[in-house]
Structure 1
Amino acid sequence: MSTSKKPTFFKIFLPEQSARRMRIPPAYRKHMKGKSSGYFYLKGPSGYYWPVKLIEESSNLFLTRGWPAFVKDHDIHHGHFLLFKFDGETTLKVKVFSHTACEDKAAFSAKPSGGDGNNNPPNPVKALVAKVKKEEDAWDRLVKAMVQAGAPSTATNPHFALQLKAYSVQDRGRGKTLVIPSSFAKIHFVKPKTPIVLQWEDKEWPATVNKSLERSYLRGGWGNFLKESKVQEGDTCKFELLEPSVLRVHILKLIEEEYPDQ
């Protein structure tokens, strides 16, 4: 099939819906050749590439990590018209139209912020390795900073870390909840209901760990913690058990500009 006949879809950019992630129209899914997750690339009008992550959630496909960087680097605002075309492999080619109804001239000179300016197709495996390495380095820096600040060492206290997914920060009708890893919960939260206190910086939130047959959930103060700490989907939290009823939270914000190969 020739490139000119490959199906396209468009999006009118609305920040309240697409600032942090963008939903691919359900009708376009049949053209994605069964792809529902993994690392993809957006090729802008300038010919440069922006890595993004494709995820599936509630039968919908979303572009997540890396998408905010693409929006920022192209200075996309409310009402901009975006035209997408999938190349059949791992790349979505994007055209950006401004409020003039013509292609945005600035988009033709846009480059990935914080990157090496490479306009060759990136290697997905190398991008993934770089991503993991950067996250590990970031955690090393965070732990070092905590030690220097006099915070308890994570090397001696039980802890677990989670990158927050949409279902951990959204209210699904029963309040906001966080699923605690079973390997951690079965050792430290053995009762059906355990009152705890979440600590972050100089603030505290009373919460509860509820244990079922299959999972353990953090409820109650979790929603208040999210609101006041401004933690969002994609951020990583490390939970450190200081006492049987105190969980200290360390936050690693998702920094889109440090995404690999940008």
Structure 2
Amino acid sequence: MASTSRTPRGRGRGGRGGGSSSLPPPPSTLPLIIEEFFIVVYEDPLVKKVRTPKKFADYLDGQEPAKVYLRAADCGPRLWTVEVLFDGQGRMYLDKGWENFAIAHGVDFGCFVHFKYEGDDVLTMKVFDGTMCRKYYYLTTKILTMKATTT
């Protein structure tokens, strides 16, 4: 005859016993931290300002910067200053300065642009083209920088 001994429920790891739970708190009790987001460029990025996701704008609520500093990932320490607009309805836009940044980094219709908020109003970004492959723009940026300094 097989043994019918059973381990009591609610005791041991992860149970309801007197020990501490290893489960994270429910999502509603966690602080809202938005460190990364992406945008899909549906319109010509050189004609229109770019809207960030509402959750990111909500995250910055109360500390709305007048400008942010964009840095291309793997492109060194150069920061591009971009003015920020808030429309009073909870939407945030990257405005003046975005066009120069977009040109220098090959942002075009159909691109996916991934942003990571580094704090201190700095956003690091990566661009992915319509084939979902990352665009590397180090050489292009270096050439543009060289041309600008020699003229």
TM-score, with length taken from structure 1: 0.38
Shift of 1:49: 1.6
The aligned amino acid for 2:84 is: L
CA deviation map 1:13-39 (0-9, x unaligned): 122577431111111223336332312
Where does residue 222 of structure 1 map in the other structure? none
Query: Is the helix fraction higher in 1 or 2?
Result: 1
Gaps of 5+ in 1: 117-262
Paired residues of 1:36 and 1:55 also in contact (CA < 8 A): no
1:14 aligns with 2:45: no
Where does residue 51 of structure 1 map in the other structure? 81
Where does residue 58 of structure 2 map in the other structure? 30
Paired residues of 1:24 and 1:61 also in contact (CA < 8 A): yes
Shift of 1:50: 1.0
Q: Select 1:78's aligned residue among 109, 127, 145.
A: 109
Which structure is richer in relative contact order (CA contacts within 8 A, separation 6 or more)?
2
Distance 1:92 1:57 in 2: 20
The verdict on how the C-alpha distance between 1:19 and 1:83 changes in structure 2, with shifts beyond 3 A counting, is farther
State the percentage of identical aligned residues: 24
TM-score, with length taken from structure 2: 0.62
Distance 1:67 1:57 in 2: 17
Query: Is the strand fraction higher in 1 or 2?
Result: 1
Gaps of 5+ in 2: 1-32
1:64 aligns with 2:95: yes
Q: CA RMSD in A?
A: 2.5
Paired residues of 2:45 and 2:108 also in contact (CA < 8 A): no
Distance 1:8 1:18 in 2: 23
CA deviation map 1:216-253 (0-9, x unaligned): xxxxxxxxxxxxxxxxxxxxxxxxxxxxxxxxxxxxxx
Where does residue 94 of structure 1 map in the other structure? 125
Distance 1:75 1:17 in 2: 10
Paired residues of 1:37 and 1:56 also in contact (CA < 8 A): no
Shift of 1:6: 6.0
The verdict on how the C-alpha distance between 1:52 and 1:17 changes in structure 2, with shifts beyond 3 A counting, is closer
Shift of 1:100: 2.7
Paired residues of 1:26 and 1:61 also in contact (CA < 8 A): yes
Distance 1:37 1:71 in 2: 20
Paired residues of 1:42 and 1:93 also in contact (CA < 8 A): yes
Q: Kindly tell me the number of residue pairs found equivalent between the two proteins.
A: 111
Where does residue 70 of structure 2 map in the other structure? 42
> Whose radius of gyration is greater, 1 or 2?
2
Where does residue 124 of structure 1 map in the other structure? none
